[in-house]
Amino acid sequence: MVRTDRIGGHRAAYEKNRKRIFASQNTCALCGYPVDFSLKAPNPMSAVVDHIIPVAKGGHPSDIANLQLAHWTCNRQKSDKLFNNDENMKKNKKVIGNRNLPQSKDWTSYRFEG
């Protein structure tokens, strides 16, 4: 029951803030070009409200501070990039972790010798 109420609350706040963004913004926050509100999905240039920090990444689902106007296609490309970066970050972290161990060891002994 509590869970359902919470989701319902977010949905109501999201709808309210979505209308506020549609009423107050007219350019895509991702590419900077105007958004044509007469275009409707599935048109790639139709207006969508984008989560600045995706909900999947811990962003607020309905806070207006985390919402911005975007084209559907820009929003889509952004989330694709985010997930690709995530994969790269995981790989890089592993590589950096393996390289850091001997490096910090050398640095310590260098300091002792100096």
- Looking at the Cβ atoms of 28 and 49, the one nearer to Zn ion is 28
- In the complex, what is the shortest distance from the CB of residue 82 to Zn ion, in angstroms, rounded to a whole number? 16
Query: CA distances (Å), 49 to each of 28, 62, 94, 97, 107, in order?
Result: 10, 10, 35, 38, 49
- Looking at the Cβ atoms of 80 and 106, the one nearer to Zn ion is 80
- In the complex, what is the shortest distance from the CB of residue 24 to Zn ion, in angstroms, rounded to a whole number? 17
- Looking at the Cβ atoms of 29 and 62, the one nearer to Zn ion is 29
- In the complex, what is the shortest distance from the CB of residue 83 to Zn ion, in angstroms, rounded to a whole number? 19
Residues that bind Zn ion (CB under 5 A): 28, 30-31, 71, 74
Do residues 75 and 30 lie in contact, with contact meaning Cβ atoms separated by under 8 Å?
Answer: yes
- In the complex, what is the shortest distance from the CB of residue 84 to Zn ion, in angstroms, rounded to a whole number? 19
- Looking at the Cβ atoms of 13 and 25, the one nearer to Zn ion is 25
Residues in contact with 31: Cβ distance below 8 Å, sequence separation at least 6, in sequence order: 71, 74
What the block records as the tokens of 33 is 């070009």
The angle subtended at Cα 21 by Cα 15 and Cα 23, nearest 5°, is: 105
